[in-house]
């Protein structure tokens, strides 16, 4: 990162203190999940937040998971859904509530739908490419958090960069840098650091708009870059965009993932995101 960009970021980082901190309950619950958790202990921890409990049970009982019987307790939900799915739900519920929906003309539901789809797509690509799936989901979920932070902290300056119906999904890095001196990927990486996420996630968020070099090893950044393009293409039906098509083909070649497999992963991820968004 250049000295000019670092200076510009430093001049604005103090405003990040206006953002809410991550829930202590979330951090403790995730720690339990990652350390050989006990279902009843975890249920007791999550149960301290009734709205979160209600959302997790509502999602667990939805037709999406196809359970034969009603799940009536958090402990049952944890046992039946398993560590990965409960962890995903915890992250999704917490992050969709981290920044209040108070800015007019920003379609937060559409924004989180995109983030959830990219999270699921990144996780599925991680399974194919042998990259840790929990970290992949978290990084994918957070990949555009810088965009949401910019519109929250710099509402009037940023408003001109998106249309009246939804937050723009296409990359606006050049316009963002002209506006504030840095882009959403850079500030997103700093926020991930502020929230004490692993360095791999910080780096992946900061680099998620950068095409991976064909000479480098497969990385978390490459997974998110690819997932972001796949989901954007699927959401916008951008099949006629030759530049986007070529970028996807280049990324899939690096990951050794076929276009057919990638298309299935993207569609499954949209279905997942639609379901979860509707219930949050």
Q: What is the pTM of this model?
A: 0.82
Question: pLDDT band for position 183 (50/70/90)?
Answer: confident
What confidence tens digit (pLDDT) does each residue in 43-91 have? 888 888 887 788 888 888 887 777 667 788 888 888 877 777 788 888 7
CB 280 within 8 A of CB 96: yes
Kindly tell me if the per-residue pLDDT of 163 is higher than 70: no
pLDDT above 50 for 146: yes
Handedness of CA 1, 138, 235, 269 (dihedral sign): positive
pLDDT of residue 169: 47
In the chain the domains, ranked by start, together with CATH numbers, are 3-19+104-279 (1.10.3210.10), 20-98 (no CATH)
Please provide the average confidence, as pLDDT, over all residues in the chain: 79
Comparing CA positions, the residue from 165, 17, 58 lying closest to residue 105 is 165
Q: Which of 105 and 5 is assigned the larger pLDDT? A: 105
| Average of per-residue pLDDT across 111-132 | 91
Q: What is the DSSP letter of 70?
A: -
pLDDT confidence of residue 120: 93
Residue 78's pLDDT is 80
Distance CA 75, CA 166 (A): 38
pLDDT over 60 at 234, yes or no: yes
Cα angle 131, 271, 185 (rounded to 5 degrees) comes to: 50
- The pLDDT of residue 262 is above 70: yes
99 Rama sector, left if φ>0, alpha if ψ -120 to 50, beta otherwise:
beta
Examine the pLDDT at 6 and tell me if it is beyond 60: no
Mean pLDDT of 128-142: 86
- Please give the pLDDT value at position 167: 46
Contacts of 75 (CB under 8 A, 6+ apart): 39, 40, 43
- Using 50, 70 and 90 to split pLDDT, how confident is the model at 194? confident
Quick one: which of 243, 241, 233 has its CA closest to 267? Answer: 233
Mean pLDDT lowest among 48-57, 105-114, 154-163, 189-198: 154-163
**Residue spans of alpha helices (H) in the chain:** 3-12, 24-33, 39-46, 50-60, 74-97, 108-129, 133-142, 145-153, 155-158, 173-180, 184-194, 199-206, 220-236, 242-255, 259-279
pLDDT at 160 over 70: no
Report the range of poorest mean pLDDT among 29-38, 96-105, 218-227: 96-105
Give the pLDDT confidence score for residue 91 in this predicted structure.
79
Q: Report the C-alpha gap between 157 and 160 in whole angstroms.
A: 7
Q: What is the pLDDT of residue 90?
A: 80
Confidence of residue 117 (pLDDT cuts 50, 70, 90): very high
Q: What is the pLDDT of residues 87-110, one digit of tens each?
A: 888 878 777 766 655 666 677 788
Query: Taking 70 as the threshold, does the pLDDT of residue 188 lie above it?
Result: yes
Spatial distance between the Cα atoms of 138 and 147, rounded to a whole number of angstroms? 16
What integer pLDDT is reported at residue 147 of this predicted model?
84
């Amino acid at each position: 990162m250049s000295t000019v960009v670092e200076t510009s970021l430093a001049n604005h980082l103090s405003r990040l203190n206006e953002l809410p901190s991550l829930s202590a309950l979330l951090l403790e619950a995730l720690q339990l999940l990652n350390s050989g958790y006990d279902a009843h202990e975890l249920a007791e921890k999550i149960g301290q937040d009734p709205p979160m409990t209600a959302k997790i049970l509502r999602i667990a009982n939805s037709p999406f998971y196809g359970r034969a019987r009603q799940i009536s307790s958090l402990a049952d939900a944890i046992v039946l859904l398993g560590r990965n799915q409960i962890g995903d739900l915890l992250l999704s519920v917490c992050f969709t509530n981290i920044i209040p929906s108070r800015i007019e003309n920003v379609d937060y539901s559409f924004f989180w739908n995109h983030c959830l789809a990219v999270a699921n797509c990144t996780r599925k690509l991680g399974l194919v490419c042998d990259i840790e799936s929990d970290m992949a989901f978290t990084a994918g979920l957070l990949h555009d958090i810088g965009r949401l932070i910019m519109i929250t902290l710099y509402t009037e300056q940023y408003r001109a960069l998106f249309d009246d119906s939804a937050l723009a999904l296409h990359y606006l890095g050049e316009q963002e840098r002209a506006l504030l001196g840095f882009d959403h990927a850079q500030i997103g990486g700093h926020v991930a650091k502020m929230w004490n996420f692993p360095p791999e996630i910080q780096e992946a968020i900061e680099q998620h708009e950068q095409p991976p070099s064909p000479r480098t090893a497969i990385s978390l950044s490459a997974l998110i870059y690819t997932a972001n393009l796949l989901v954007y293409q699927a959401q916008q039906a951008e099949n006629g965009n030759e530049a986007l098509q070529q970028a996807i083909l280049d990324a899939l070649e690096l990951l050794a993932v076929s276009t057919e497999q990638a298309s299935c992963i993207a569609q499954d991820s949209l279905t997942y995101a639609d379901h979860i968004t509707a219930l949050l």
